[in-house]
């Protein structure tokens, strides 16, 4: 397996020059566009790694999976989906224009920024408690105590997140979020800044692939039904407005983040974490996509085949 991972990294590394590191959050601009890492964890908890698998990066939009899980655990499926939809969208992840249309009742889905700001707001707890609960939940999933957020990235986004701020105030005006808007944004920016590596992503992936159970601890952290909501949402919305083509070419439920991470879930089989900060125009890791495409072919991982 590790030979395969390294072969795929070698085969695809030329692609990094066609991508661009995200710099609309200034601190993300410091990443090395040539970094590539992969980790696969199987259902027995065995780990296979390749390249820069232990490089740290911020989780960004992949955290949207975690906030969705917690929101459903806290408020129930019905309450959550009253305020956020479950439909894919052709708009980019940071779009707010549809939300401003009078007939648009709620964000299309929880994998775009507007939808994720809603799910974050639905996590139980006052102020900082929401974030602490999210971090604690992630620590339990990953079985890692020293997980934390990157202050520099958090402050960088907090200072420059004008568009997310506009989205959040629009959500407030439409009655889709309750409480103090700046506090909710603060939690959202912090959750996006949580530092992970490919192993951490693979562990979250296998937790979902294994119906919300860590294969090592076997501790049940949430109802397995949550996996059956998260997996289709990842499949249809996880790669933003590239989710359709991605489903055809890769066929693995996945979620990307703008720092270059992709988390992929092969139900009942594997959790996969890939890192490559050079992004394509959709905000997905350019080399991460190609590696997952190759891996899917080599190991027959598509859920559609
Ligand atoms: N923190 C980022 C933002 O809100 C997350 C976006 C992403 O990873 N696509 O813009």
Q: Per residue, what are the HEC states of the chain?
A: CHHHHHHHHHHHHHHHHHCEECCCCHHHHHCCCCCCEEEEEECCCCEEEEECCCCCEECHHHHHHHHHHHHHHHHCHHHHHHHCCCCCCCCCCCCCCHHHCCCCCCCCCCCCHHHHHHHHHHCCCCCHHHHHHHHHHHHHHHCCCCCCECHHHHHHHHHHCHHHHHHHHHHHHCCCCCCCHHHHHHHHHHHHCEEECHHHHHHHHHHHHCCCECCCCCCECCCCHHHHHHHHHHHHHCCHHHHHHHHHHCCCCEEECCCCEEEEEECCCEEEEEECCEECCCCCEHHHHHHHHHHHHHHCCCCCC
Catalytic residue among 48, 53, 154, 188: 188
Catalytic residue among 48, 53, 154, 240: 240
Q: What would the pLDDT profile of 198-247 be if each residue is shown by its tens digit?
A: 999 999 999 999 999 888 887 888 999 999 999 999 999 999 999 999 99
Regarding whether 77 and 156 lie in a shared domain, the answer is: yes
Q: What would the pLDDT profile of 123-173 be if each residue is shown by its tens digit?
A: 999 989 999 999 999 999 999 999 999 999 999 999 999 999 999 999 999
Give the Å distance between the CA of 160 and the centre of ligand 1: 12
Atom of ligand 1 nearest to the CA of 283: 9
Task: Please give the pLDDT value at position 35.
Answer: 97
Regarding whether 154 and 99 lie in a shared domain, the answer is: yes
Atom of ligand 1 nearest to the CA of 60: 8
Mean pLDDT of 29-55: 97
Q: Is 21 within a domain?
A: yes
Task: Please give the pLDDT value at position 284.
Answer: 97
Give the Å distance between the CA of 258 and the centre of ligand 1: 6
Q: What would the pLDDT profile of 14-39 be if each residue is shown by its tens digit?
A: 999 999 999 999 999 999 999 999 99
Q: What would the pLDDT profile of 254-282 be if each residue is shown by its tens digit?
A: 999 999 999 999 999 999 999 999 999 99
Q: Is 64 noted as a catalytic residue in this protein?
A: yes
Regarding whether 217 and 187 lie in a shared domain, the answer is: no
Residue 8, domain extent? 2-58+196-298
Regarding whether 128 and 66 lie in a shared domain, the answer is: yes
Q: Is 99 within a domain?
A: yes
Instruction: Give the residue, out of 113, 256, 277, with the most ligand 1 atoms within 8 A of its beta carbon, to mutate for a pocket test.
Output: 113
Whose alpha carbon is nearest atom 6 of ligand 1?
61
Give the Å distance between the CA of 299 and the centre of ligand 1: 30
CATH of the domain at 290: 3.40.710.10
**Is residue 240 lining ligand 1, measured as CB closer than 6 Å?**
no
Q: How many domains does the chain have?
A: 2
Regarding whether 154 and 110 lie in a shared domain, the answer is: yes
Instruction: Give the residue, out of 20, 61, 285, with the most ligand 1 atoms within 8 A of its beta carbon, to mutate for a pocket test.
Output: 61
- Domain end position, chosen among 128, 158, 192: 192
Q: Is 240 noted as a catalytic residue in this protein?
A: yes
Q: Which residue has the higher pLDDT, 92 or 177?
A: 177
Q: Is 233 within a domain?
A: yes
Regarding whether 69 and 185 lie in a shared domain, the answer is: yes
Give the Å distance between the CA of 113 and the centre of ligand 1: 7
Task: Please give the pLDDT value at position 119.
Answer: 98
- Domain end position, chosen among 192, 223, 242: 192
Q: Is 61 noted as a catalytic residue in this protein?
A: yes
Q: What would the pLDDT profile of 87-134 be if each residue is shown by its tens digit?
A: 999 898 988 888 988 888 999 999 999 999 999 999 999 989 999 999
Tell whether pTM > 0.95.
yes
Q: Is 83 noted as a catalytic residue in this protein?
A: no
Q: Is 94 noted as a catalytic residue in this protein?
A: no
Q: Is 304 within a domain?
A: no
Regarding whether 73 and 170 lie in a shared domain, the answer is: yes
**Is residue 164 lining ligand 1, measured as CB closer than 6 Å?**
yes
Regarding whether 69 and 186 lie in a shared domain, the answer is: yes
- Domain end position, chosen among 140, 159, 192: 192
Regarding whether 285 and 203 lie in a shared domain, the answer is: yes
């Amino acid at each position: 397996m590790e030979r395969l991972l390294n072969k795929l990294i070698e085969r695809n590394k030329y692609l990094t020059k066609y991508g661009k590191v995200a710099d609309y959050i200034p601190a993300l601009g410091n990443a090395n566009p040539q970094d590539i890492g992969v980790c696969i964890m199987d259902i027995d908890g065995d780990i296979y790694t390749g390249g820069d698998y232990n490089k740290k990066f911020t989780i960004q939009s992949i955290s949207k999976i975690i906030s969705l899980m917690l929101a459903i655990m806290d408020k129930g499926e019905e309450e959550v989906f009253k305020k956020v939809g479950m439909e894919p969208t052709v708009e980019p992840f940071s779009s707010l224009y549809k939300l401003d249309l009078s007939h648009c009742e709620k964000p299309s889905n929880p994998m775009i920024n507007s939808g994720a700001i809603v799910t974050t707001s639905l996590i139980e707890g006052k102020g900082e408690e929401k974030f602490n609960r999210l971090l604690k939940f992630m620590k339990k999933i990953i079985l890692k105590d020293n997980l934390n957020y990157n202050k520099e990235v958090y402050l960088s986004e907090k200072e420059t997140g004008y568009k997310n701020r506009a989205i959040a105030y629009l959500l407030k005006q439409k009655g889709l979020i309750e409480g103090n808007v700046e506090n909710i944004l603060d939690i959202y920016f912090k959750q996006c800044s949580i530092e992970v590596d490919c192993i951490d992503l693979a562990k979250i992936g296998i937790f979902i692939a294994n119906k919300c159970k860590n294969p090592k601890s076997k501790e049940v952290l949430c109802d397995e039904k949550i996996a059956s909501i998260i997996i289709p949402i990842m499949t249809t919305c996880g790669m933003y407005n590239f989710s359709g083509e991605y489903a055809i070419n890769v066929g693995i439920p996945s979620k990307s983040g703008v720092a270059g991470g992709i988390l992929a879930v092969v139900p009942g089989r594997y959790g996969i974490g890939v890192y490559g900060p050079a992004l394509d125009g959709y905000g997905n890791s350019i080399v991460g996509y190609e590696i997952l495409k190759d891996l899917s072919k080599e190991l027959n991982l598509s859920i559609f085949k």
